[in-house]
């Protein structure tokens, strides 16, 4: 088939968070858009990542509540986990969101093409034997689950996160390789389902990119939940046994379980897609961009997990919108990645925005920190959660880091994001009255204390 006679304003390769956000915003700005996706619009986040894992975690939370009802004076018991029912609930959530997204794409007049696309020139993508020309091309091909060299994924006993989401049974035991966000979320959900879980993390702490205080609070909580973890050790080999899998560490220590989940992060999907041939600068598979998501080729931009920024769906949304607005000629501001909120949806949750204490000391030298224990927060006591809010401020200056651990603290990070991004002083936040009894008060109380006027906290 021949190419369309008039090029589209924007041809997007990849319909995940970054790609579809750019498509929707560009269409809003009266640009003609072609969106190409090899699987389903919504990408990893909607179909194999954020959304289904959070549904799994919510099912786990319900299981824990049923198991622990007695603590709240309610006589409940857990009859068991019906994985068919869990998967039906999870898939229903995904299906409703997918249908809504398809409707949005259609209503904005976006040309949607399903198929394996390939960049064939700085202004064209070929798919299903047809070439789509664009004044500009946006690369948004996302990421895949990485493995460890020498560790073979078989999809049955040694699995990745996508295969873990499709499990039709509750395994009796599991070893998780990797104690980052993905590993900790699966450990949390599976423990709630009654699985005997062990995490193996090569670095010194779980969620190693977080402030060390948050990592330690999560580790303490996981110990209470009897989630096992081995820190600071690397995997030497993974071998099948008669009934499962054996993991041997470089120290010689051995662990056995029914299944192994490899959760060591995600790598960019860029191989064999024509990027290098079109002259796009790459590094270790990532497409290199400037602060406006522009590649070294003037007609090509890139967003999302394909570029070496934070691998978060909401970062993809932000980058996609930035590119669409830039191409439409609107004034745009580069994303401050430190100002992007980050959440691990385990039980308890870990949420943060801004700099860790180590990063803040490197950048500013003198900083002040304050830790407010959730023990002083009424709502947290009602929920029977433990944890803390940690604030980091520049000496006599604004708050430059907010780190929280506890049930549901991910819902509090939006206010913390405003505090960091608007460079608020503790006094300014302390003057805001937070509703009682809510967990949001913990954020207010922490700022009261940091401003030198603690209420429900020791001075």
Summarize the annotated binding site as residue ranges: 54, 117, 141-143, 178-185, 201, 265, 305
Picking from 425, 431, 430, the residue whose alpha carbon sits closest to that of residue 397 is 425
457 has a pLDDT exceeding 90? no
Which residue positions form the known binding site for NAD(+)?
178-185, 201, 265, 305
Give the whole-angstrom CA distance, residue 262 versus residue 153. Answer: 8
> Would you say 355 and 54 are in contact if contact means Cβ atoms under 8 Å apart?
no
Q: Which run of H or E residues covers position 281?
A: none
Non-local (6+) Cβ contacts of 438 within 8 A are: 379
Mean pLDDT of the chain: 96
Report yes or no: 326 and 40 within 8 Å, Cβ to Cβ: no
Burial class (CB in 10 A: 0-12, 13-18, 19+), 33: buried
1 band by pLDDT with thresholds 50, 70 and 90: very low
Distance between CA 141 and CA 25 in Å, rounded? 18
DSSP 446: H
Structure tokens at 332: 């745009």
Length of the chain measured in residues: 459
Provide the annotated active-site residues: 436
What are the boundaries of each domain within the chain?
8-142+269-328, 146-265, 348-451
Write down the residue that tokens 């009682």 correspond to. 436
Q: Would you put residue 375 in left (φ > 0), alpha (ψ -120 to 50) or beta?
A: alpha
Alpha helices by DSSP H, 143-237: 161-165, 181-192, 212-224
Rounded Cα gap, residues 38 and 15, in angstroms: 8
What is the Rg, in whole angstroms, of the alpha carbon atoms belonging to the chain?
A: 23
Antiparallel, parallel or unpaired: β 173-177 and 259-262: parallel
The number of angstroms, rounded, from the C-alpha of 204 to the middle of its chain's C-alpha atoms is 21
Three-state DSSP class for residue 75: coil
Predicted pLDDT of residue 459: 65
Give the strand pairing for 266-268 and 143-145: antiparallel
- Is 243 exposed, middle or buried, given 0-12, 13-18 or 19+ CB atoms closer than 10 A? exposed
Separation CA 443–CA 435 (nearest Å): 11
* Per-residue pLDDT reduced to its tens digit, 306-359: 999 999 999 999 999 999 999 999 999 999 999 999 999 999 999 999 999 999
Give the 3-state secondary structure of 298-318.
Answer: CCEEECHHHCCCCCCHHHHHH
Topology alike, domains 146-265 and 348-451 = no
Q: What whole-number distance in Å separates Cα of residue 197 and Cα of residue 237?
A: 18
Domain 8-142+269-328 coded CATH 3.40.720.10: no
Q: Above 60 in pLDDT, residue 4?
A: no
Q: From residue 72, how far is each of 67, 97, 222 by CA, in Å? A: 11, 34, 21
Q: Which fold has domain 146-265?
A: FAD/NAD(P)-binding domain (3.50.50)
β-pair partners for 12: 35, 138
* Known binding positions for FAD: 54, 117, 141-143
Helix (H, G, I), strand (E, B) or coil at 100: helix
Q: What pLDDT does 5 receive?
A: 56
- pLDDT tops 60 at residue 12: yes
pTM: 0.96
- Residue 458: its pLDDT value, please? 76
Residue 67, pLDDT above cutoff 80 = yes
CA separation for the pair 133, 7 (Å, rounded):
5
Q: Which of 259, 236, 246 is nearest to 159 (CA)?
A: 259
- Report pLDDT digits (tens) over 184-222: 999 999 999 999 999 999 999 999 999 999 999 999 999
- Is residue 436 predicted with pLDDT exceeding 60? yes
Residue 109 tokens, joined: 């007049």
pLDDT-above-90 percentage for the chain: 97
Query: Which long-range contacts does 384-388 make (Cβ < 8 Å, 24+ apart)?
Result: 384/71, 384/72, 385/348, 386/217, 386/221, 386/348, 387/217, 387/221, 387/348, 388/213, 388/217
**Residue 320 pLDDT:** 98
Q: Which CATH architecture has domain 348-451?
A: 2-Layer Sandwich (3.30)
Q: What element of type H or E holds 139?
A: strand 130-139
Q: Determine the Cα–Cα distance for residues 456 and 85; give it in Å rounded to an integer.
A: 43
- Asked if the bond preceding 437 is cis, omega within 30° of 0, the reply is yes
* H helix and E strand count, the chain: 13, 24
């Amino acid at each position: 088939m021949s190419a369309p006679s008039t090029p589209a304003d924007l041809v997007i390769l990849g319909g995940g968070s970054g790609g579809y956000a750019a498509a929707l915003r560009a269409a809003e700005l009266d640009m003609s858009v072609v969106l190409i996706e090899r699987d389903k619009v919504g990408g990893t986040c909607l179909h194999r990542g954020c959304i289904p894992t959070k549904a799994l975690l919510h099912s786990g939370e319900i299981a824990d509540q049923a198991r622990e009802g007695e603590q709240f004076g309610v006589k409940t018991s857990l009859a068991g986990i019906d994985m068919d029912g869990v998967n039906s609930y999870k898939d229903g959530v995904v299906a409703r969101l997918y249908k809504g997204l398809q409707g949005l794409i259609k209503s904005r007049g976006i040309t949607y093409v399903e198929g394996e696309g390939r960049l064939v020139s700085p202004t064209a993508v070929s798919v299903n034997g047809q070439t789509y020309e664009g004044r500009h091309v946006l690369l948004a091909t996302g990421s895949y689950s990485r493995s460890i060299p020498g560790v073979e994924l078989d999809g049955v006993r040694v699995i990745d996160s996508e295969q873990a989401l499709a499990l039709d049974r509750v395994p009796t035991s599991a070893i998780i390789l990797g104690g980052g966000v993905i590993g900790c979320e699966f450990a949390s959900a599976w423990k709630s389902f009654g699985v005997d879980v062990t995490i193996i993390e090569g670095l010194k702490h779980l969620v190693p990119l977080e402030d060390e205080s948050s990592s330690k609070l999560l580790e303490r909580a996981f110990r209470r939940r009897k989630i096992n973890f081995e820190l600071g050790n690397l995997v030497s080999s993974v071998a099948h046994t008669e009934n499962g899998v054996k993991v041997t560490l470089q120290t010689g220590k051995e662990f056995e379980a029914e299944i192994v989940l490899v959760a060591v992060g995600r790598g960019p999907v860029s191989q064999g897609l024509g990027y290098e041939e079109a002259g796009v600068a790459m590094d270790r598979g990532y497409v290199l961009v400037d602060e406006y998501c522009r590649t070294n080729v003037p007609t090509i931009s890139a967003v999302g997990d394909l570029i070496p920024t934070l691998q978060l769906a909401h970062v993809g949304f932000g980058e996609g919108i930035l590119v669409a607005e830039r191409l439409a000629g609107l004034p745009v501001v580069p994303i401050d990645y430190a100002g992007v909120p980050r959440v691990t949806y385990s039980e308890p949750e870990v949420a943060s925005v801004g700099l860790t204490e180590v990063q803040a000391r490197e950048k500013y030298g003198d900083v002040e920190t304050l830790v407010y224990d959730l023990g002083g927060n009424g709502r947290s006591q009602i929920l029977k959660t433990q944890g803390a809010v940690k604030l980091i401020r520049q000496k006599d200056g604004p708050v430059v880091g907010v780190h929280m651990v506890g049930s549901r603290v991910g819902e509090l990070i939006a206010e913390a994001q405003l505090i960091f991004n608007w460079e608020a002083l503790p006094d300014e936040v302390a003057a805001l009255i937070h509703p009682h009894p809510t967990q949001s008060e913990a954020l207010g109380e922490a700022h009261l204390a940091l401003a030198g006027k603690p209420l429900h906290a020791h001075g």
